[in-house]
Structure 1
Amino acid sequence: MKQGDLVTRRSYGGDIIFKIQEVQRQHAVLRGVDYRLLADAPLNDLSAASVDPYSYAYGAEPPWMDTLRKTELHHSMTLPQYPGDESVPVFFDMPGKVLHLDGDPAYLRKCMNLYGELRVPVEGFYVAEANMAEALYRLLPQVKPDIVVITGHDGILKHRRNDEMYTSPLGSYKNSHHFANAVRVARQYEKNRDTLTVIAGACQSHFEALMQAGANYASSPARVLIHALDPLCVAVKVAFTPIKDTVNIVDVIGLTHSGLEGLGGVESRGSFRRGVPKIQKVMHAEAP
């Protein structure tokens, strides 16, 4: 077994496909292929995994992509027209702008492609979870986003019983404390949860700590695994919900792979705006 190999864990019945991030003596550090789970295992517990061609990570789309496409298409097809001239729309669309920090470079690339397809303005950065708080100090004033996604990989340290999952301290989670620190930085930048929507967490993250730090949406209430694209799903839905409306929490989380066990949140306004008149061409002013 070597870095980059796809593997499963025999002790868990081979339920999840991982990629070996690094090998440390006789142990491997593992990152989930379809789930945002960080784990480790002895090399003798690993088996080579065959690639599932229908895995989201290898090209197939999550089922909610069609729903999000219809949401984006709905906005572009329902623009009012100038009186007497049905060929020229009055309004232009401004979906909320996303700043996406991801601890997984492969999933950052996948997310950026999907944001682009759905025409959501976004700036994305690969940042190790431990460095996310520091990165946000610099990036938030530069990007000035409406929505921040703080995600990567997480997990509960081994040897915890099920009844201890909800009482374990934050230090019992691999990266939840890094996510919580990053959320606090975002809230120092903008305290109003309707002005800046924060989506934070990964697999089995400490939901309560992330919400208390100031997140609008976070994982994982039931400490379950979340799909790697679930945070993007929530971000896109917020980006296309009009600012005069609140995001339907149950509807948006119902779209995700993990549902209400994997993601929760508080009532928050959307970030979608319309403007007038219709912009035909963007002109860049010359520097004096």
Structure 2
Amino acid sequence: MTINLMDVVGRISYKCDILFRVIDIRTENGNKIAILYGEDFRLIADAPYKDLIVIDQSTRNERSREFRSLEEQSYRLFQQEMNLLREKQEYDSTDGYKKKINYFQLPGRVLHIDGDPSYLRKCLDLYEKIGIPVTGIHCSEKEMPNKIHQQIEYYRPDILVITGHDAYSKSKGEIGDINAYRHSKYFVQTVREARRMIPNLDQLVIFAGACQSHFESLIHAGANFASSPSRINIHALDPVYIVAKISFTPFMERINVWDVLRNTLTGEKGLGGIETKGILRTGMPFNVEKE
């Protein structure tokens, strides 16, 4: 069976547990190797060409329905939480509904830098659906450390997302060795560069990492939230749910880490962080009519 670029495949040796898209095919030491990007997880992998099989459309559709169901469930839970948060804010802003006040809200502005253009589009669609002001930029993971200064200086975000693809390779070193990870060191360098510009953890909130990323190094570098504490795969949309919670929490309130993680698709094994202040600011009046 011929396998071409952009085909959706599974690894036979792994019983096709994860669907991948072929992004490159190369020859190493006389053997054909395929470079793979996860279809639903932020995972990069390489595999022998002969270990791959093209996944038929019916199987892809079935897998897709399963993931869309999980995404819809997570979105519903998130919407319920946001509705309760808005009701609380309205109660506080109107002095317990005693005063009729027209107010407006300014959620956190997001700069999302992603190593995968396809995942970036999915995330931007969800940001728009939730109502978060966002700028999305596609940039390869290796180039991120060199470009982050210019992007922060130009866009002045409240929240920075640094993500793409990553993977831990046992053959390259122990789990604590950052050189055993595909892109973790570039994410860490990018976070450090961002923190040189804005050291305050509440002035710029940072999410960094992808599948199996070196969580501890990212947190120590200055990220508020990161992946992956248990070195598991994270879902493509998980960063958006973390950002949304931060963006719509009032800046006078601190966010419990579990409150941020509970509506993600991956949970605390794939995501973690530190206590962080919210970003949302409420103002008034809104839509004042001229006499």
Q: Calculate the TM-score normalised by the size of structure 2.
A: 0.87
Structure in which a larger fraction of residues adopt helix? 2
* Residue segments in structure 1 that go unaligned for 5+ positions in a row: 282-288
Query: Over aligned residue pairs, what C-alpha RMSD do you find?
Result: 2.3
Q: How does 1:72-151 map to 2 (within 5 A)?
A: 72-74=82-84, 79=90, 80=93, 86=100, 89-151=101-163
Out of 175, 182, 199, the position equivalent to 1:174 is 182
Please list the CA deviations of residues 25-62 of structure 1 after superposition, one character each: whole Å capped at 9, or x if unmatched.
31100000110000000110001123135527986534
Please name the residue that 2:8 is paired with.
6
The answer to whether the 8 Å contact 2:109/2:132 transfers is yes
Please name the residue that 1:284 is paired with.
none
The 2-side partners of 1:243 and 1:222 are apart by 30
User: Are 1:16 and 2:21 matched, yes or no?
Assistant: no
In the TM superposition, residue 69 of structure 1 has moved relative to its aligned partner by 2.5
The 2-side partners of 1:176 and 1:131 are apart by 13
The answer to whether the 8 Å contact 2:238/2:264 transfers is yes
The 1-side partners of 2:150 and 2:288 are apart by 33
1:4 alignment partner, SS class: coil
Amino acid corresponding to residue 252 of structure 2 in structure 1? K
Out of 43, 51, 68, the position equivalent to 2:60 is 51
The 2-side partners of 1:280 and 1:24 are apart by 63
In the TM superposition, residue 272 of structure 1 has moved relative to its aligned partner by 0.8
Please name the residue that 1:285 is paired with.
none
The answer to whether the 8 Å contact 1:68/1:118 transfers is no
In the TM superposition, residue 138 of structure 1 has moved relative to its aligned partner by 0.8
* Residue segments in structure 2 that go unaligned for 5+ positions in a row: none
Q: How does 1:1-288 map to 2 (within 5 A)?
A: 1-25=3-27, 26-49=32-55, 50-53=59-62, 55=64, 61-74=71-84, 79=90, 80=93, 86=100, 89-159=101-171, 164-165=174-175, 167=176, 169-279=177-287
Amino acid corresponding to residue 198 of structure 1 in structure 2? I
In the TM superposition, residue 186 of structure 1 has moved relative to its aligned partner by 1.1
- Structure 1 pair 160–137 and aligned structure 2 pair: CA distance change class (3 A): closer
In the TM superposition, residue 277 of structure 1 has moved relative to its aligned partner by 1.3
Aligned-residue identity in percent: 39
Please list the CA deviations of residues 79-105 of structure 1 after superposition, one character each: whole Å capped at 9, or x if unmatched.
35699985xx42101111111001111
The answer to whether the 8 Å contact 2:111/2:136 transfers is yes
The 1-side partners of 2:136 and 2:73 are apart by 23
The 2-side partners of 1:73 and 1:268 are apart by 21
Amino acid corresponding to residue 119 of structure 2 in structure 1? Y
Amino acid corresponding to residue 228 of structure 1 in structure 2? A
1:22 alignment partner, SS class: strand
Q: Calculate the TM-score normalised by the size of structure 1.
A: 0.88
